[in-house]
Each structure stands twice: as structure tokens, then as C-alpha cells.
Structure 1
Amino acid sequence: MDKEIVFGHTNPDTDAVGAAMAAADYFKHQNVETEAVALGKPNEETKFALDYFHLTMPRVIEKADTEKVILVDHNEANQSVANFNDLTITHVVDHHKIDLKTDAPLFYHAEPVGCTSTILFDFYQKDQIEIPKGIAGMMLSAIISDTLLLKSPTTTDQDRKAVEQLAKIADVEDYQAYGMELLKAGTNLANRTNHDIIEGDAKSFEMNGKKVRIGQVNTVDIDEVLNRPGLKEDIEQELKTQGYDDILLVVTNILDSNSKGIFYGVDQIAVEKAFDGPVNDHIIDLPGVVSRKKQIVPNLTKEME
């Protein structure tokens, strides 16, 4: 039986890693030989979860080294492996908009929930498969991360149910307390360079023929991030050297669920219309905005297309 590797998007967040680990385990029960891998090093939040549940980070790759692959938490080529177009995709489990064409039929499951790990939790439940404790811990961490501890507008009742059940399986007595520790671990920016902050959780999108890069960083002090020496200049340099038309870095306060954005590019008017506010000195207020998937990408896409 040929092995299939399972991976999430580049610049992996906790769901990209946790969902890959969960999917690799789940599909083994469906007689698919799998290995979870990652398209980048873990961020501080993911490291915290892996250490907490005594798990090893999947190996990191740039190109797929198997012919057949399983995608989780993404389906777009520009967020995937370098040799994406040479691969046979057999399964996709995702919670984002669909932007995928294939030459052959495949298993595709997408739902508008807060996290891919929520979908995988339902898979386990439906098939009455026991979730290993560590995997449950990573899935719990992924949902907490993607929904900002169930406060994001992407949160559904499915996510809430999954968190409660996964916390029991993972032996997490107080998931609220654990969740805040997890999120705060991801806000530790002391040892991160400006490039780490700009690219650490960034994804590329095509909007009306424009190449738009949207990054996001969580913090407990937005001004501390905005005032980092050289951050704006480094964003502008990234725009010039990487061929993007626009870059928006969203800085989100996990404590009050508000954000500010740093914008560089050619579509300032579209950004101002999308978020109903002015861009002043490359900064725009984003009150109540925490979700790239539900509040940022759709708004920008509408105004640009």
C-alpha cells in the first residue's frame, strides 16, 4: 500500500498541524497508510500545545515526497507545497472557501465551522473511533486557536461541543484556563523578528487579478507591535521584493477581540471601503475584527472584485 502524506497550509498554525496529525490517525482507520507532515516550523503557540501533550512535531517539508496526498485546513495551491500541481490529491478536509480543480474524483469534505479539527472530531464520533489523548489535545488546541477561545464570529455550536468533549478526552480540566495559556504563548513576540511577525501566519490570495498577502499576529498589546522598530519598513520591503500588490498585517488583541491593520499597496481605497475607515500613516482600525476567513478576506474580495 502506497503511503500518503497529510499536511495543512504553509506557515502552519495550530490547526494546520493538529488537523494533519488527527487526519493521519483517522485515515489509518480507513485503511490508508498515512504520515502527518508540516509545511513549516511550528509557531510558539503550536510548540506550547505539542509540549503540553508530550507530542513530537511532524517532520517539515517543502515538497511532497509521495505521489498521493491528503490536504487539511487548505485547498489552494498558493498555500500548499511547491510541487502541488504534480500531485494526486485523494482527500481534502477543510473549512475555507473552495478554490480547487482536480483531474479525478476525490473525497472532499468542507463545512463552515470554526476549525478543521472540529470536522475531524465529528468524523471520529460518527465512526465510533477512539481519539488518542494527545491527538485530542492538539485538536482541542486547534479549535481554541482558530476561534480565539470560542469568541470568534466563526464559532459554531459544533465547535463548542467539540471543545467540551475533546477537553475530557485530553484530560484538560479547565479548557478556558488552558486556552488562555495557549493563546498567550502565541503572543510572545520577544524572540521573533519582524520577518517572523509579517510571515508567521500569512496567506496569499488572488483578488481580481491582484496578489494580496494577508498576515495576522495575536498580541495582548497592539501598540507594542505597531511601534516595533522597522516593522513598517520591512512590510514595505516585503511588498516590493515578493511581487505582492497589497500586504495587510492584522494585529489582533486576544483580550478584547479588536484589531488594527498595517497596510501597504495599491488598493488603499478598497481597504478603506472594506473596513469602513481611513488608512492613516498605513494604519487602519479594525474594531471587532478577529477572523481573516470570515471578516477580512470576504470584505476585501467584495470591494476588489
Structure 2
Amino acid sequence: MSEVLIFGHKNPDTDTVCSAIVYNNLKRLQGMDTEAVVLGEINDETRYSLEYFRVDVPRIVTEVTEGQKVILVDHNEMQQSVVGIEKAVIKEVIDHHKIANFETAVPLYFRAEPLGCTATILKKIYEEQGVDINKTMAGLMLSAIISDSLLFKSPTCTLRDKIAAEDLAKIAGINLEEYGLAMLKAGANTKDKTIKELIDVDAKEFILNNDKLVIAQINTIDTKEVTDRQKELEETIYQEISNKSLSAFVFVVTNILTSDSEVLVLGDKKEKVASAFGKSLENNLMTLKGVVSRKKQVVPPITEEFNK
């Protein structure tokens, strides 16, 4: 095993996986003994990107031992990280999310910027350190930005993300719009997924006051394709609520074509979740027009409501 493991959050998405690979490439070029790994199976969108740029899927790590040196990308909240993270030695964090539930025994390099994607930060780091970005690394960083910004439709996307993506597309030698749409569509297929896969593909745990919530999201080009399976979804989600002692489970189904979301909310605090958006649930569902970003449009109002 390498001296330092680099990884993103559980239920890895494209930014988490690509950022780990890209930062590992930089560290190894600089002579460090590092390895990019993932904390679970990758999704269809990420697989499309890795296959397109002919990059192997990193090995899966489910637990780290005491004293293992690690670098975290695309997350900092401990409950979103690997089992055993509290016993590891965190050397660095590169992230674009809020800082929460994070504490270390020794100083570290911590870089968090309010950008739409971790890969945008990594592009800056490459440039700051005078390291050339090759076509493959450019393609992976571009894929991460497209994913996190929903091809620049998300409110989390900044001008710097868009400029970075345009630069990276030139280096990678690809048409940004054509590749981006193909990549997003590859990840929007829900027909062949089991119910457990649907709710797990991009699920994150949050601790808000004394309440534990899971906020999961899936992208689709046909929302009804998912909501038609509501009975099965509810059965599986109620099991998750019981197993993890959750106050609420929030399942956001986002249509990448209309930029709207249907949200299924279950649990004892489901009405509190709905009130965060000034909504009432109908059959455990609510519609959020123009909502595509969990980080900027879903988590903040829920956090505010639960912290009252």
C-alpha cells in the first residue's frame, strides 16, 4: 500500500473520483508515494468519463487503519469519509464544500474555495506549481466540472469554473458541449438501476443539531421514470431510516433537461424539511422549480431550518 491514500467522499461521484486521480498524478510527479482510491462503486457518468479518457478505475477502499496517511478531496465532513478516518493522519484537504464536523490533532494543508468544483481548484494548483496539464488530466478535470455544474446550469457554477472548463476542453482536444451532454446522459439512465442503487448513487449524511439526515440526489432526463417507483422507493428508504436512525431521508430527483427537481421526503422530521422550502408535502413529494444543486439550493435551507 502507498504511504498516502487520496480519496473523495463515500458514494463517489465524478468530481470525487477525477479529483483524486488528478491530485494523485500531481503528487506522484513531485515524487510522493501516493495512490488514488475510491470509497465505493463508481456511477455510470464517472465510468463514461474514465473509459473515454482511458483511465483505470481506482481500487476500492472501505476502511483505513490507525496512522494511515490520507489526503481528502471533495469533502471534509467525517461522516462522509472512509470508515476509520478518525484514526488516520489527514495530511491535506482540497474541497469546495462547507466546513463542518472537522478537527485534527496536528496542522495540515487545508484549501477550501467557494467554487463549483474541486477540480477547478486543482487546475489552479497545477498552474501555481508550474506543472503542465496533459490531455488526460485535462479531460478528467473537465468531466468533474461538467458534472458538478450540470454543464454550467447549476447555481454553484462560477465564472472561474466556466473559464477553467473552456481552457481544459482545448487542452483535451474535445468539443465541450457535445462531450458534456453525452457524459450527463450516460449518468442519467435510471431504468436499469435497482431501488437501492437509485438512493445510494449520490447520498450524503448530514448532522444538523441532534438530527441525522441523508440527502440523496439522482439526475435523470425523465423524472417520472423514478417517481413511478415510489412505493418501492419508500419501502427501501424506510429501511434506511430505521437502520441509520435518521430523522429524515431526502431524495432529490433532478431533471437535467428542465432544471427542476421532484423531492421525496420521509421520516419523523419530513414536514420540517418541507417547511425549509415553504412547501407542504403531497403524498410525501414536493416539486422544487429551478433546483438542481444539493450543495447550494437544498442543504442550506434545510440546515437553517434544523438549526432554529
Distance 1:89 1:170 in 2: 32
Amino acid corresponding to residue 40 of structure 2 in structure 1? G
Structure 1 unaligned runs (5+)?
none
Q: Does 1:32 align with 2:55?
A: no
2:86 matched to which residue of 1? 85
Q: Shift of residue 135 of structure 1? A: 1.8
Question: Is the 1:211–1:244 contact (alpha carbons within 8 Å) kept by the matching residues of 2?
Answer: yes
Could you tell me whether the CA contact under 8 Å between 2:190 and 2:225 is conserved in 1?
no
Do the aligned partners of 1:5 and 1:64 also contact (CA within 8 Å) in 2? no
Q: TM-score, normalised on structure 2?
A: 0.95
Alignment pair present for 1:59 and 2:42: no
Equivalent positions of 1:9-24 (< 5 A) are 9-24=9-24
What one-letter code is carried by the residue in structure 1 that aligns with 2:17?
V
Size of the aligned set, in residue pairs, is 303
Q: Counterpart of 1:287? A: 289
8 Å contact from structure 1 (residues 11, 201) kept in 2 = yes
Q: Which position in structure 1 is the counterpart of 2:169?
A: 167
Q: CA deviation at 1:30?
A: 4.0
Equivalent runs, 1:260-299 vs 2, <5 Å: 260-299=262-301
* SS class of match (2:91): strand
Partner residue in 2 for 1:189: 190
Which residue of structure 2 lines up, in the alignment, with residue 68 of structure 1?
69
1:200-248 alpha-carbon deviations (Å, 9 max, x no partner): 1000000111010000000011111101261222222221222211100
Q: List aligned pairs for 1:248-263, cutoff 5 A.
A: 248-263=250-265
Give the corresponding residue for 1:98: 99
Percent pairwise identity: 45
Per-residue displacement from partner, 1:114-169 (whole Å, max 9, x unpaired)?
A: 00000001111222211232221111111100010011000111101110111111
Matched with 1:47 is: 47
Bigger shift: residues 128-137 or 25-34: 25-34
Task: Give the Cα separation in 2 of the matches to 1:237 and 1:87.
Answer: 31
Deviations 1:69-100 (A, max 9, x none): 10000011111110101100001000011121
Alignment of 1:94-173 (within 5 A): 94-99=95-100, 100-172=102-174
Bigger shift: residues 64-73 or 103-112:
64-73
Amino acid at match of 1:252: T
CA displacement at 1:34 relative to structure 2 = 1.1
- State the alpha-carbon separation in 1 of the partners of residues 212 and 161 from structure 2: 32
* Counterpart contact for 1:3–1:33, Cα < 8 Å: yes
- Listed as ranges, the gaps of 5+ residues in structure 2 are none
Classify the secondary structure of the residue corresponding to 1:275. Answer: coil
Aligned partner of residue 230 in structure 1, secondary structure: helix
Is 1:178 the counterpart of 2:174 in the alignment? no
Query: What CA distance in whole angstroms lies between the structure 2 residues aligned with 1:135 and 1:8?
Result: 17
1:120 & 1:19 partners in 2: Cα distance? 7
Give the alignment's Cα RMSD to 1 decimal. Answer: 1.3
Q: Verify the 8 A CA contact 1:4 1:70 in the aligned structure 2.
A: yes
Name the CA distance, whole Å, in 2 between partners of 1:257 and 1:177.
Answer: 19
What is the deviation of 1:5? 0.8
Shift of 1:36: 0.4
Between the aligned partners of 1:230 and 1:116, the Cα distance in structure 2 is 34
Q: Offset at 1:60?
A: 0.7
Work out the CA distance in 1 between the residues paired with 2:199 and 2:110. Answer: 31
Aligned equivalents of 2:270 and 2:195: distance in 1? 22
Contact 2:191 2:225 in 1 (8 A): no
Please list the CA deviations of residues 6-31 of structure 1 after superposition, one character each: whole Å capped at 9, or x if unmatched.
Answer: 00000000001000001111223444
CA contact (8 A) 1:260 1:286 kept: yes
Amino acid at match of 1:72: V
